[in-house]
Amino acid sequence: MTQEHIMKRRMVIAIMLMIAAVIAMLVFLGLFVDEKRRVQETYRTQFNANLADTVEAVDSFLKDDNDKEFRYRRILSDMAGADSFAFLLENLTEEQKIAVNELHSCLIKYPEQMKDKTRLADMRQALVDMGENLDKGFEEAKAVVDAIDRKGH
């Protein structure tokens, strides 16, 4: 064999290896994108479940006058979960993520104001709309947050 034949054979092998590497890279890229989509679906499911749990906790708080502190802590806990998952979702805008976070922060910082039945009813409606993936839910949450007197308790 001549030097030219050896070089041609090496080039053919190199090209075949390059094609195999590109195919492998495309397969792994496809798997990555698919897994990322699945993870986002899981986050969305958990976010909606936490919103639904928060709505249930708000309903429980509004209906029963017994053990208000426990029921409020349940609202806080469920809203904390929704807040955590909101920041993991890629299909929410920064403003929407901030609206969820501010609503959670108001529940923590201003419990006396947030325990008001009309405010909780407004928050409940905002959470229902967020769970249905409506933009107005985030606007309603922002309105609830804006109604808080941040200098008071």
At 133 the pLDDT is: 83
Length of the chain: 153
**Confidence band (pLDDT; 50, 70, 90) for 152?**
low
At 12 the pLDDT is: 95
Q: How far is CA 107 from CA 16, 64, 117, in A?
A: 61, 19, 13
At 149 the pLDDT is: 82
Rg (CA), the chain: 26
At 67 the pLDDT is: 85
Token pair in block for residue 63: 């209906």
**Confidence band (pLDDT; 50, 70, 90) for 76?**
very high
Using the Cα atoms of residue 138, residue 100, residue 117 and residue 57 in order, give the sign of their dihedral. Answer: positive
At 46 the pLDDT is: 95
130 within 8 A of 138, measured Cβ to Cβ: yes
**Confidence band (pLDDT; 50, 70, 90) for 65?**
confident
Q: How far apart are CA 70 and CA 48, in angstroms?
A: 22
Instruction: Please give the average per-residue pLDDT across 6-14, as a whole number.
Output: 94
Instruction: Please give the average per-residue pLDDT across 16-39, as a whole number.
Output: 96
Annotated domain spans of the chain: 37-146
The pTM is what?
Answer: 0.81
Token pair in block for residue 30: 């496809």
Token pair in block for residue 37: 């989509």
pLDDT of 153 strictly over 70: no
**Confidence band (pLDDT; 50, 70, 90) for 15?**
very high
Q: Mind listing the pLDDT tens digit for each residue in 77-110?
A: 999 999 999 999 998 889 999 999 999 999 999 9
